Amino acid sequence: MKILFRQSPCQFDVEDEIEQKRLSLREELLEAKHALEIAYSGFDNVTDPDLIDCYIYEVNAVMKRYKFLLEQAAKIDLLPEETYNETYNSLTLTN
């Protein structure tokens, strides 16, 4: 019986790994932005004091995650610096 495949260690290309991280970070940024929009929408539509508190905590938590992701994106030059500064400053002003 012949072996039809080669059993050698898999080698990853460093550039592919970096690109994969960039895509993953970009997807996480979009998800966080969407979660922030949902949290703000929920906050705008509730009247119960307990739910208002709940949405305040949710908005703050998602905003901190979004800021963290923006900082990570800035470190790997995923975003242009002007976009990063505008977005980060607008989040800082609203918090």
Per-residue pLDDT at 48: 93
Per-residue pLDDT at 38: 94
Amino acid 48 reads D
Higher-scoring residue by pLDDT: 55, 78: 55
Phi, then psi, of 22 in degrees rounded to 5:
-65, -45
Give the tens place of pLDDT for each residue, 18-69.
Answer: 778 888 888 999 999 999 999 999 999 999 999 999 999 999 999 999 999 9
**Alpha carbon 51 to its chain's center:** 25
Amino acid 70 reads L
Query: What pTM, to 2 d.p., does this model score?
Result: 0.65
Residue keyed to tokens 């905590």: 57
